[in-house]
Amino acid sequence: MSTPEEAGSRLSPVLQQRLEKLDRLRELGVEPWPVGFARDTRVAEMLAAFDELKESGRGFTLAGRLTALRRMGKATFAELMDGGEKVQLYIQRDGVGADTYDVFKLFDIGDIIGVEGKAFTTRSGEMSVEVRAIQLLSKNLHPLPASKEKDGQVFDEFSDKDQRYRQRYVDLLVNPSTRTVFEQRSRIVSAIRRHLEGQGYLEVETPVLQPIYGGAAARPFVTHHNALDMKLYLRIANELYLKRLVVGGFDRIFEFARDFRNEGMDRFHNPEFTQMECYAAYQDYQDMMVLVENLISGLAVELHGSTRVMLKGHEVELAAPWRRATMMDLLREATGADLLDMDEAALRALAKRLHVEVEANDGWARLVDTLFGELVEPKLIQPTFVCDYPREMSPLARRHRQDPRLVERFEAVVAGKELCNSFTELNDPIDQRQRFLDQQALIQRGDDEAHPLDEDFLRALETGMPPTAGLGLGIDRLVMLLTGAESIRDVIFFPTMRPQA
């Protein structure tokens, strides 16, 4: 790989100019990337304590990135950004010394600097820093996109979505709204953790590399362990390992898991995503409904001060209680048919009549799921617990206590998209083995998302798992919901991207 200097004539004029400044700095004995800096104050702290600092005349040191420069001969006004907060700097030749000021002339917007100074107010009343010493901490070689602010809105040249995802580091520097989304994401995760710990849940960790993938209907990523000479899979879910821990006596547990599914990508799917799964012994899916509606409504209040949020032009009320409706009732309303009494041929005919595309190797359960996803889910704007799924669709869920054709399962749907999935967990090892064998038949038919058989998990159930409820909550989609993001790529720091040519 060639260095910027070796690239020569291929460099842009601006980059060439900055490389020349780099050479000049070194000629002056300035290290463009020095080690460390004794910062004692953050910009946010300085602004919060501005009056006290100004009155006392106490000096302090700041560090951050130059985001604006306005030179006026022997004095310069500049802007320093640190952690999303900005403050104005005033640098005078007489204040920092002639030699230092000459070096400062070689600084550019985008450079990271350290300053020592005191608080003062300009004639226009702006809180500022009178700089007494200044040091280059990291030279910027690629100029930041120009931006301007008007009426609280930031307008910049870095608006291409693809480039913003690929160069998230630049996106975070020039688009404050991007930084806000990820700060809110961190707050959401912290609040979920606090909520669960407050109810006696213990945070745990389970394997990412698994000899048998499971816990969801998805295709896995495959890898190879050289030392053991064995095939391994990146987990598609952490469910089966968490249930093993319930068998082992951990009655309430949760995990924030990075999961991987080798499937298509769109506004709501990324092959690498974050999920929170929790399990509670001696509870059922009804208990999990209460946990979900209280958790999500509480998050909305913490972030927005209200349980009402605007989504897709609709005002959505997240306060409990949420609507509860069975999957079959919702499908009956949408199709006029009772799908539970229809065989596979009848379902295919129904899909054709309603112009819903299905795959040739789709089994009965996949056909029902496709019809629901096309005809029902997008219309569920207000929070809805879709309950009691057909048994064939849920190989890990307990049979419904009132109708053995169904299982005790719900999905929470908000603004037309699934947010979480929950079961009263199947703890009957005999029934679970038969469900796995039914899934093997689907694999033989060509269903590459059917669930594989896991003998060790069956052995764990044979050891004895108490009655248990489980929940899987998609963190990325939850952040989309609570921040109003349009795409899952807007809430993942570094989403998966196709390589650039």
- Residue 309 maps to a domain: yes
**Last residue of a domain, which of 123, 144, 165?**
144
**CA–CA dist 203, 205 (Å, integer):** 7
**Last residue of a domain, which of 144, 167, 202?**
144
Stronger pLDDT, 218 or 149, i.e. the higher one: 218
Give the count of domains, the chain.
Answer: 2
Taking Cα atoms as reference points, which of 463, 429, 472 lies closest to residue 245?
Answer: 463
What's the mean pLDDT when you consider all of the chain? 92
Stretch 213-229: mean pLDDT, rounded? 93
Looking at the whole model, is its pTM more than 0.85?
Answer: yes
Cα three-residue angle 439-440-442, rounded to 5 degrees: 65
**CA–CA dist 165, 61 (Å, integer):** 33
Phi, psi of 272 (to 5 degrees): -120, 120
In this structure, are 318 and 449 located in the same domain? yes
- Which single residue is written with the structure tokens 């009402």? 308
In this structure, are 129 and 181 located in the same domain? no
- Residue 281 maps to a domain: yes
Q: Exposure of 449 by Cβ count < 10 A (0-12 exposed, 13-18 middle, 19+ buried)?
A: middle
In this structure, are 230 and 83 located in the same domain? no
The pLDDT score that the predictor gives to residue 492 is 96
The pLDDT score that the predictor gives to residue 216 is 87
Stretch 447-476: mean pLDDT, rounded? 95
Express each pLDDT in 285-295 by its tens digit: 999 999 999 99
- Residue 412 maps to a domain: yes
Express each pLDDT in 248-286 by its tens digit: 999 999 999 999 999 889 999 999 999 999 999 999 999
The pLDDT score that the predictor gives to residue 363 is 86
| Phi-psi group of 152: left, alpha or beta (phi > 0 → left; psi -120 to 50 → alpha; rest → beta) | left
What is the CATH number for 50?
A: 2.40.50.140
In this structure, are 220 and 263 located in the same domain? yes
For residue 9, is pLDDT > 80? no
Distance of CA 263 to the CA centre of its chain: 18
For residue 177, is pLDDT > 50? yes
The pLDDT score that the predictor gives to residue 411 is 97
Q: Exposure of 380 by Cβ count < 10 A (0-12 exposed, 13-18 middle, 19+ buried)?
A: buried
Contact 225, 172 (CB under 8 A): no
CA atoms within 13 Å, Cβ hemisphere of 472: 23
- Which single residue is written with the structure tokens 């500049």? 78
- Residue 342 maps to a domain: no
Express each pLDDT in 393-449 by its tens digit: 899 999 999 999 999 999 999 999 999 999 999 999 999 999 999 899 888 888 888
Stretch 182-198: mean pLDDT, rounded? 97
**Last residue of a domain, which of 125, 144, 163?**
144
In this structure, are 182 and 133 located in the same domain? no
- Residue 343 maps to a domain: no
Please report, rounded to a whole number, the percentage of residues in the chain having pLDDT higher than 90.
82
For residue 4, is pLDDT > 60? no
Taking Cα atoms as reference points, which of 392, 391, 349, 397 lies closest to residue 371?
Answer: 349
In this structure, are 261 and 407 located in the same domain? yes
In this structure, are 117 and 196 located in the same domain? no
Q: Residues 224-228: contacts with CB within 8 Å, 24+ apart?
A: none
Stretch 240-253: mean pLDDT, rounded? 98
- Residue 376 maps to a domain: no
The pLDDT score that the predictor gives to residue 234 is 97
The pLDDT score that the predictor gives to residue 445 is 84
In this structure, are 236 and 308 located in the same domain? yes
In this structure, are 412 and 312 located in the same domain? yes
Express each pLDDT in 116-172 by its tens digit: 999 999 999 999 999 999 999 999 999 888 766 666 565 556 788 899 999 999 999
In this structure, are 105 and 206 located in the same domain? no
| C-alpha to C-alpha distances, 20 to 24, 345, 439, nearest whole angstrom | 6, 73, 65
- Residue 224 maps to a domain: yes
**CA–CA dist 445, 439 (Å, integer):** 10
Helix (H) or strand (E) holding 279: strand 272-281
Least confident of 9-13, 92-96, 326-330, 450-454: 9-13
**CA–CA dist 303, 375 (Å, integer):** 32
Taking Cα atoms as reference points, which of 490, 473, 477, 486 lies closest to residue 182?
Answer: 490
Q: Residues 259-263: contacts with CB within 8 Å, 24+ apart?
A: 259/216, 259/235, 260/220, 260/221, 260/234, 260/235, 260/236, 261/216, 261/218, 261/219, 261/220, 261/236, 262/218, 262/219, 262/220, 262/221, 263/218, 263/219
| C-alpha to C-alpha distances, 115 to 10, 26, 50, 60, 171, nearest whole angstrom | 35, 20, 16, 8, 25
Contact 494, 168 (CB under 8 A): yes
Contact 300, 307 (CB under 8 A): yes
In this structure, are 221 and 120 located in the same domain? no
For residue 387, is pLDDT > 90? yes
| C-alpha to C-alpha distances, 279 to 207, 220, 377, 426, 489, nearest whole angstrom | 17, 23, 26, 12, 28
What is the CATH number for 262?
A: 3.30.930.10
307, 310, 315, 317 alpha-carbon torsion, rounded to 10°? -20
Stretch 169-189: mean pLDDT, rounded? 94
Contact 177, 154 (CB under 8 A): yes
- Can you give the residue range of the structural domain that contains 29? 4-144
- Residue 186 maps to a domain: yes
In this structure, are 462 and 418 located in the same domain? yes
The pLDDT score that the predictor gives to residue 467 is 97
